[in-house]
């Protein structure tokens, strides 16, 4: 989904009207996709909000200006909490009444220097995990406020390895820009790169050939297959169910190798470029690809059948880390955690627009349990949808070009929004161009930005020992958050 707005067409209202607009519209069912501030030449900050309506498929934008600060809307609109923290950290605006303006990415102070929420009482205690972990994952600090083994509150602190990707994109695009985007979240190369190139194509009025759009969709679903398979295996590992854990670890590699078959890279780098795809799907490779796809799909369904047929697995998955639809609406959660509560949030179906026909064969998968089991089931069912989508589309590719040379002059003074349903959920990129057609601002919102607080809420009332399982059922990105 791609949408452009001339800056002059975006209404600028008073800060009180701005706050009321966001609060009222979120109350009516919309959600915040983007909310950020840009310092202007008047020693103030221009605020922009982008709201999405999953029912109508509409996008709404609004702007305001603040000089020193504004009253927080988080208490009335909880899903604004992380956006306001980021605005405070990046612009210096004072946000009065926000419950916790702790750093998002430690831009202005020493790493880890925050005021942790504390529950008082002689029987309560803290359990601190990280930021340095024993494995290969990136740093993140998890502080549990506990009563015995029961978690009363979990505070998550990230941003220890801030890479500054958004900053280096300023005054672009340049030749390096797409390579930064490809590494925004390494396991979501296809999703983030697709969001980025859609912005460039919209800003240059480049029309993409249908063949290229279908190939992009195939690669996106292949990325979903690999990661959902890996997650189901990792969930099995967290409860010591080794058969599915072992199988899925290998099968994930099979799906990654299928990506490499077409572009030479297991994570899909270099295939999606402005104008289409760099590598076409060679007819001679398709039979081999389909054979591998069928074999891997058969294997992963066999591995998950072992999972669902085990009563001990179900007893560990069911009723753990429960989220409700109220939690999803309040926090603005997206992707698998949202769909596991029955919420119908999927960019491929709700905001398809140009690609509506491409995704007509995909059914949105939901579950209503909201627990670890529900999040695992959604992944398993989405594997079915992605497999059938790829199998059907790859043999019906239209006979046309796979690339069209894009223009290089971007529209000036324009806000462009790009949404892609990555395997974790909605990926949102927002670009604002200046009067020279260069990026005056480039914002990236990985699904993890929206969903980390969901993990915190899901852990309330759970046992500390359930954290690895609950954490893996979300499988959020550290680096995708730390941009």
Cβ distance 256 to 266 under 8 Å?
yes
- Residues whose CB falls within 8 Å of the CB of residue 114, separated by 6 or more in sequence, listed in order: 102, 103, 157
* pLDDT score for 287: 95
Q: What is the mean pLDDT of residues 394-406?
A: 92
Q: Does domain 165-450 have CATH number 1.10.645.10?
A: yes
Q: What is the mean pLDDT of residues 40-56?
A: 93
Q: What is the mean pLDDT of residues 420-429?
A: 98
Q: Which of 221, 163, 154, 157 is nearest to 190 (CA)?
A: 221
- pLDDT tens per residue across span 71-127: 999 999 999 999 999 999 999 999 999 999 998 988 766 777 788 888 888 889 999
Positions of E strands within 72-149? 94-96, 124-129, 141-147
* pLDDT score for 12: 97
Is pLDDT at 381 greater than 80 in this prediction?
yes
Band (pLDDT 50/70/90 cuts) for residue 133 is confident
CA-CA distance, 444 to 259, in Å (whole number)?
24
Report domain extents, the chain.
165-450
CA-CA distance, 388 to 147, in Å (whole number)?
47
Is pLDDT at 268 greater than 90 in this prediction?
yes
Q: Counting Cβ atoms within 10 Å, is residue 235 exposed (0-12), middle (13-18) or buried (19+)?
A: buried
For 249, the token pair is 């670890």
- pLDDT tens per residue across span 7-19: 999 999 999 999 9
CA-CA distance, 303 to 306, in Å (whole number)?
5
pTM: 0.96
- Name the average pLDDT for the chain: 94
* pLDDT score for 109: 65
For 274, the token pair is 């402005």
Cβ distance 341 to 458 under 8 Å?
no
CA-CA distance, 16 to 64, in Å (whole number)?
9
Long-range contacts of 69-74 (CB under 8 A, 24+ apart): 69/93, 69/94, 69/95, 69/96, 70/15, 70/18, 70/19, 70/94, 70/95, 70/96, 71/19, 71/95, 71/96, 71/97, 72/96, 72/97, 72/98, 72/99, 73/19, 73/22, 73/23, 74/98, 74/99
DSSP letter at 54 equals T
Cβ distance 261 to 292 under 8 Å?
yes
Q: What is the mean pLDDT of residues 190-210?
A: 96
Is pLDDT at 353 greater than 90 in this prediction?
no
- pLDDT tens per residue across span 167-192: 999 999 999 999 999 999 989 999 99
């Amino acid at each position: 989904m791609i949408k452009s707005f001339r800056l002059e067409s975006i209404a600028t209202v008073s800060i009180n009207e701005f706050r009321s607009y966001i609060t009222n519209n979120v109350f009516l069912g919309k959600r915040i996709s983007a909310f950020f501030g840009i310092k202007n030449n008047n020693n103030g900050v221009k605020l922009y909000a982008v709201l999405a309506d999953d029912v109508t498929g509409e996008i709404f934008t609004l702007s305001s200006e603040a000089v020193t600060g504004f009253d927080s809307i988080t208490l009335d609109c909880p899903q604004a909490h992380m956006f306001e923290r980021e605005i405070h950290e990046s612009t210096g605006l004072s946000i009065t009444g926000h419950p916790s303006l702790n750093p998002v990415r430690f831009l202005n102070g020493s790493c880890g220097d925050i005021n942790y929420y504390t529950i008082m009482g002689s029987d309560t205690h803290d359990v601190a995990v990280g930021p340095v972990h024993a494995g290969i994952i990136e740093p993140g600090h998890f502080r549990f406020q506990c009563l015995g083994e029961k978690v009363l509150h979990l505070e998550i602190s990230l941003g220890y390895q801030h890479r500054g990707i958004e900053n280096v994109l300023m005054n672009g695009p340049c030749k390096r820009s797409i390579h930064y985007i490809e590494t925004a979240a390494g396991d979501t190369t296809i999703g983030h790169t697709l969001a980025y190139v859609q912005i460039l194509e919209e800003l240059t009025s480049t029309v993409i050939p249908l063949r290229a759009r279908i190939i992009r969709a195939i690669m996106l679903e292949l990325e979903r297959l690999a990661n959902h398979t890996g997650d189901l295996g990792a969930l099995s590992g967290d409860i010591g169910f080794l058969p599915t854990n072992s199988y899925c670890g290998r099968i994930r590699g099979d799906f990654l190798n299928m990506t490499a078959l077409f572009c030479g890279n297991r994570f899909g780098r270099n295939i999606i470029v402005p104008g289409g795809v760099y590598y076409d799907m060679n007819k001679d490779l398709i039979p081999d690809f389909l054979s591998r796809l069928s074999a891997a799909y058969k294997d992963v369904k066999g591995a998950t059948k072992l999972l669902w047929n085990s009563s001990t697995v179900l007893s560990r998955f069911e009723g753990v880390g429960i989220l409700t639809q109220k939690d999803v609406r309040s926090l603005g959660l997206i992707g698998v955690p949202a769909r596991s509560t029955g919420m119908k949030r999927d960019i491929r179906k709700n905001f398809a627009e140009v690609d509506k026909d491409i995704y007509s064969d995909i059914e949105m998968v939901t579950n209503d349990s909201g627990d670890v089991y529900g999040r695992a089931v959604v992944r398993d069912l989405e594997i079915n949808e992605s497999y059938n989508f790829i199998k059907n589309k790859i043999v019906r590719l239209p006979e046309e070009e796979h690339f069209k040379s894009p223009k290089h002059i971007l529209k000036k003074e324009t806000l462009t929004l790009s949404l892609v349903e990555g395997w974790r959920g909605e990926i949102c990129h927002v670009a604002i161009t200046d009067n020279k057609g260069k990026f005056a601002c480039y914002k990236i919102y990985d699904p993890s930005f929206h969903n980390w607080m969901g993990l915190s809420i899901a852990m309330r009332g759970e046992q500390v020992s359930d954290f690895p399982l609950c954490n893996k059922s979300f499988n959020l990105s550290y680096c995708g958050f730390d941009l």
